[in-house]
């Protein structure tokens, strides 16, 4: 004879498989039920999921509820309430991030102002990678805390992974100089070429490399240096 625990385990496994095949196929109460799996590992969470949605009027209201109100529902203890409020905070922060999305521009000076302000806000010197969609909206930003670009080249594998995961259309890179001069070095040129080739391999366009030195700036795109690097990196120009 099957025990209740075996029945629940089988149901959880089936629901998990359904979710993995198509995350959009689950109803609101099934999504909530799966979240409750983590809080209540040995309990049939289906009735509680239905009760929470009925009590609060929908899954959105469940995640917006306070811990105190959640714990008024029979079956919801401190751990379950904490987990639900935590999920609610994650949703809220993601929503706020989308509403207040950052955006770069086709205009070089606007991008220079953006990265200069970025380094000032971060109160650090470093190397910044901005991943953008086709409308110049920032999808993700990677900041490496180092004063020189060549010292962060060990993170190229991480950058490759980020390109694969975020799937940007455009990339802008920037770094700061401590010397007071924004003039790029040969190392900066080589790093730019490496990143351009990495981007090209992922069908991504590198739109600029901006070097910031206090109030001064150098734009590879504006000065024509980026186009020169791209031309020299074409397959037919490679030496073997």
Domains of the chain: 4-99 (1.10.150), 108-237 (3.40.140.10)
pLDDT at 153: 45
Residue 103's SS3 state is: strand
Residues 6+ apart with CB under 8 A from 55: 73
pLDDT at 42: 83
pLDDT of 237 strictly over 70? no
Length, in residues, of the chain = 240
pLDDT at 1: 37
* Residue 84 near residue 62 (C-beta atoms within 8 A): yes
Most distant CA pair in the chain: distance in Å? Answer: 78
| DSSP line for 167-204 | --SEEEEEEE-SSS--PPPHHHHHHHHHHHHHHHHTT-
**DSSP letter (8 states) at residue 88:** H
pLDDT in tens, 19-35: 999 989 999 999 999 99
Lowest mean pLDDT among 62-71, 117-126, 174-183: 117-126
pLDDT at 34: 93
**DSSP letter (8 states) at residue 207:** E
Cα–Cα distance between 125 and 174 in angstroms, integer?
Answer: 11
Structure tokens at 50: 């239905």
Residue 166's SS3 state is: helix
pLDDT of 154 strictly over 50? no
**DSSP letter (8 states) at residue 65:** S
pLDDT in tens, 161-212: 889 999 999 999 999 887 778 999 998 999 999 999 999 999 999 999 999 9
Whole-prediction pTM value? 0.61
Of the chain, the percentage scoring pLDDT greater than 90 comes to: 56
Residue 234's SS3 state is: coil
Pairing of strands 170-176, 205-213: parallel
Mean pLDDT of 81-110: 84
The HSE-up count of residue 114 (CA atoms within 13 Å, CB side) is 24
Scored b (16 or more CB within 10 A) or e, 56-77 reads beebeebbebeeeebbebeebe
Number of H helices, E strands in the chain: 10, 5
pLDDT in tens, 45-65: 999 999 999 898 889 999 999
Structure tokens at 145: 């805390």
């Amino acid at each position: 004879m099957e025990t209740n625990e075996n029945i629940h385990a089988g149901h959880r496994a089936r629901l998990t498989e359904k979710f993995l095949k198509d995350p959009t196929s689950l109803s609101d109460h099934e999504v909530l039920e799966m979240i409750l799996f983590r809080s209540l590992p040995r309990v049939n969470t289906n009735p509680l999921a239905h009760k929470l949605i009925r009590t609060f009027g929908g899954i959105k209201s469940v995640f917006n509820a306070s811990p105190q109100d959640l714990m008024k529902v029979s079956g919801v203890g401190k751990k379950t309430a904490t987990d639900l409020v935590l999920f609610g905070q994650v949703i809220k922060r993601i929503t706020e991030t989308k509403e207040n999305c950052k955006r770069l521009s086709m205009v070089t000076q606007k991008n220079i102002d953006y990265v200069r302000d970025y380094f000032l806000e971060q109160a650090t010197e470093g190397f910044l990678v901005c991943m953008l969609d086709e409308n110049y909206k920032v999808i993700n930003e990677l900041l490496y805390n180092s004063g020189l670009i060549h010292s962060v080249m060990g993170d190229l594998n991480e950058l490759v992974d980020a390109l694969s995961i975020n799937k940007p259309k455009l990339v802008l890179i920037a770094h700061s100089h401590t010397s007071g001069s924004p003039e790029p070095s040969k190392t900066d040129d080589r790093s730019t070429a490496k990143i351009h080739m990495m981007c090209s391999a992922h069908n991504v366009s590198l739109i600029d490399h901006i070097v910031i030195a206090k109030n001064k700036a150098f734009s590879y795109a504006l000065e024509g240096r980026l186009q020169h690097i791209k031309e020299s990196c074409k397959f037919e120009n490679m030496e073997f």
